[in-house]
Amino acid sequence: MTFYILLAVAAVVTGSLLALVIHRHQSSAPSPLRASGLPAAVSTPTAYLMGLSPLPTRRAPGFTLTDQKGRTWSLSQFRGRAVVLEFMDPHCTDICPIVSQEFIDANRDLGSLSSRVAFVAVNVNQYFPSVANMAAFTREQRLNTIASWHFFTGPTPVLQRVWRDYGITVEAPNPKADILHTSLVYFIGPHGHERFIASPQVDHTAAGKAYLPAPSLSAWGHGIAQVAASLVH
């Protein structure tokens, strides 16, 4: 009898130690890292999802380009509003439509603050630089539902300068090839200074179709809105 009692006690102790080891292993799993200086309203998981980072304070490089309605604007004309800036290809069927939906969601989430935020994109496709190309993409992606949406284009040398200024790499070997470009979202404050940067993401089906799971898409839109709102509050 004593033998069986000792065996039972040993089993309990062993099980307890095993549970403790498992608990410690789970507790030591790395948590998402949070960069210092991020808006308090943006949760750590959302910041991690967005690859959100603060930027050293510098004035955002200026540019003067033409939007999808044929209007010429300078970046300085948005002073007083936060600017959410991305670089897009009007013929893109991959990440650009995903980011477009995130912008639409973010604009909705901003509510009454939406008038204080401008959503801006700069064309990265030198083979399709016309205002009509920008307008067609805007309609196709329903970006015209954002009152403050501007899809800018211009002469290739001017576009190339803007790409360089914002660290955007573009590979466009010929008009029929896919345009490969850096995808970054810049958050510019009302005083014209760069404040944050994020790295959009996309998944692909087995057939190669771009998508982002609905929870991630929603979190991205909400995160963009939270960062923009933090800049105008």
Beta bridge partners of 210: 204
Q: Tell me: the pLDDT tens digits for 139-177?
A: 999 999 999 999 999 999 999 999 999 999 999 888 887
Task: Please indicate, yes or no, if residue 38 is contained in any of the structural domains.
Answer: no
pTM (2 d.p.): 0.85
**Could you tell me the two tokens for 168?**
């955007």
Residue 220 shares a structural domain with residue 158: yes
Domains identified in the chain, total number: 2
What range does the domain containing 67 cover? 44-232
Q: Tell me: the pLDDT tens digits for 100-128?
A: 999 999 999 999 999 999 999 999 999 99
Task: Please indicate, yes or no, if residue 180 is contained in any of the structural domains.
Answer: yes
What angle in degrees, to the nearest 10, is found between the helix axes of 214-232 and 95-110?
A: 50
Nearest to 138 by CA among 91, 68, 83, 80: 68
Residue 67 shares a structural domain with residue 19: no
State how beta strands 170-171 and 72-74 pair. Answer: unpaired
- The CA–CA distances, whole Å, from 218 to 221, 223, 224 equal 5, 8, 10
**Could you tell me the two tokens for 67?**
């939007």
Task: Please indicate, yes or no, if residue 197 is contained in any of the structural domains.
Answer: yes
CATH number at residue 65: 3.40.30.10
**Could you tell me the two tokens for 19?**
């549970």
Spatial distance between the Cα atoms of 81 and 141, rounded to a whole number of angstroms: 24
What is the pLDDT confidence band of residue 207, given thresholds at 50, 70 and 90?
A: confident
Task: Please indicate, yes or no, if residue 37 is contained in any of the structural domains.
Answer: no
